[in-house]
Amino acid sequence: MKRFLALIATCATVLGLTALFSPQAVAAAGCKVDYTVTSQWQGGFQGGVKITNLGEPVKGWTLTFAMPDAGQKVVQGWNAAWSQSGSTVSVTGVDWNRDLATGASTDLGFVGSFTSANPKPTAFTLNGVACTGSVTDPPTDPPAPGGTPVDVNGQLHVCGVNLCNQYNRPVQLRGMSTHGIQWFGKCYNNASLDALAKDWKSDLFRVAMYVQEQGYETDPAGFTSRVNSLVDMAEARGMYAMIDFHTLTPGDPNYNLDRAKTFFASVAARNAGKKNVIYEIANEPNGVSWAAIKNYAEQVIPVIRAADPDAVVIVGTRGWSSLGVSDGSNESEVVSNPVNATNIMYAFHFYAASHKDNYRATVSRAASRLPLFVTEFGTVSANGGGAMDRASSIAWLDLLDQLKIGYANWTYSDANESSAAFKPGTCNGSDYSGSGVLTESGALLKSRISTADNFPTG
């Protein structure tokens, strides 16, 4: 298959702000736009637009710009209302980003098409006025207050298609998933979680509790206790904990419906007072229809809500949580028939060496319609092995960053497979921080996760 080209073509353009509700439009002190092409393929591309307000607060905005080539079209956009007339593109803020305080930024994105050329857009204006800012202005996003990810963001919730923090601003959580805790329990201890929180600077710890395969069904009380203990360990280090009801075989989650109700009633009641818990109710449904998955979700979610009404719940999707792509379908079945519940997101999984252009295109489209979370992904083949595909992995990570889609990598373990972050035998010792214990995949993920989050707080 063809691959996305990792094109980073950043430009910054001088803009203007309108002082709304005044007798006439007045240029504010300044603002800027960062325009990027994060991915490009034959006849199509993904673009990002970041608006930063360097002047007075603005209540309500419309950004316009011109596509230089007649063949360039906006196919679908997100985080704003997008339209195009001829070569002119208009973008209007939505409820959660309509107001821009001084120093505030908002990130927008779109999928575009082109026929022969794809030059950068020109003639950016904001509320019809050119601005006096410039690319030499210092960064104006206020730094996030000190503290852990949970300290800064507090209780999370879904707003529009985004995961949002206590300030109602979109955030991206980046972290790691355990392997099956029935097999690799020795990998999850104080030393390894200290390394994840402090050295990796991870926001998220996903706890993969298999239901079958020597998992929960063999000892419900014991596995429930182990999950709760790992949630506490993540909380103590300021990380979010994703409780993963790791169903895989059989693929119909309804097979485990009663077990799910029992488990989630227990963990939701026990952890309802925490701000760091996210519930993932079915890992990878497979060989089953979306209607059956939806039916399962609409029975399990009320059980969680009865005890914990505020936590985010993530629903698995068809085709091993591929939004149906691995079954020859796409996101349209979820868009047209969503789960009847609020404060939910939909899971998407990929393995970079196996899942490339058509999967990335699906995520790009779906992100403007559905709140997505990549609750599991690997840098290797779908079987968890083979060589790491660095180019595809980076293309995926760049896309998720651009769309502010959170992710958990498979796996924070020393499994004898190339998807593992640690070399075999690491969990027999106490060193989880040194570069010598990391696999190629682990080194890549640590380098990405440990970069600054810059969570918005305005």
User: Region 232-236: what's the mean pLDDT?
Assistant: 97
Closest CA to 235 of 178, 146, 150: 150
In terms of DSSP bridges, do strands 162-164 and 157-159 run parallel, antiparallel, or are they unpaired?
antiparallel
| CATH code, residues 11-126 | 2.60.40.290
What CATH code would you report for 149-449? 3.20.20.80
Confidence of residue 373 (pLDDT cuts 50, 70, 90): very high
Confidence check: pLDDT of 341 > 60: yes
**pLDDT, tens digit, for every residue of 201-230?**
999 999 999 999 999 999 999 999 999 999
Q: Which residue among 235, 280, 333, 376 is the active-site one?
A: 376
> Are 281 and 315 spatial neighbours (Cβ–Cβ below 8 Å)?
yes
CA distance 66 to 337: 36
The string of pLDDT tens digits covering residues 156-183 is 999 999 999 999 999 999 999 999 999 9
pLDDT of 95 over the 80 cut: no
Q: How confident is the model at residue 30 (pLDDT cuts 50, 70, 90)?
A: low
Mean per-residue pLDDT over the chain, rounded:
87
d(CA 446, CA 201): 9
Q: Where in the chain is the domain with CATH 2.60.40.290?
A: 11-126
Asked if pLDDT for residue 18 goes beyond 70, the answer is no
Look up 417 and say whether it is catalytic.
no
pLDDT at res. 127: 77
Instruction: List, for residues 40-60, the tens digit of each pLDDT value.
Output: 777 888 787 777 776 678 888
Q: Is the pLDDT of residue 142 over 60?
A: no
> What confidence score (pLDDT) does residue 258 get?
98
Residue ranges, comma separated, of all CATH 3.20.20.80 domains in the chain are 149-449
Nearest C-alpha neighbor of 321 from the set 292, 350, 299 = 350
DSSP 376: E
pLDDT score for 178: 98
Residue with more model confidence, 146 or 286: 286
Name the least confident of 118-132, 287-301, 362-376, 382-396: 118-132
Q: Out of 47-51, 270-274, 291-295, which region has the weakest mean confidence (pLDDT)?
A: 47-51
Examine the residue annotation and report whether 298 is marked as an active-site residue of this protein: no
Instruction: Pick the range with the lowest mean pLDDT from 1-10, 115-124, 361-370, 439-448.
Output: 1-10
Res 117: pLDDT: 80
Which of these is catalytic: 284, 331, 333, 417? 284
Per-residue pLDDT, 38: 66
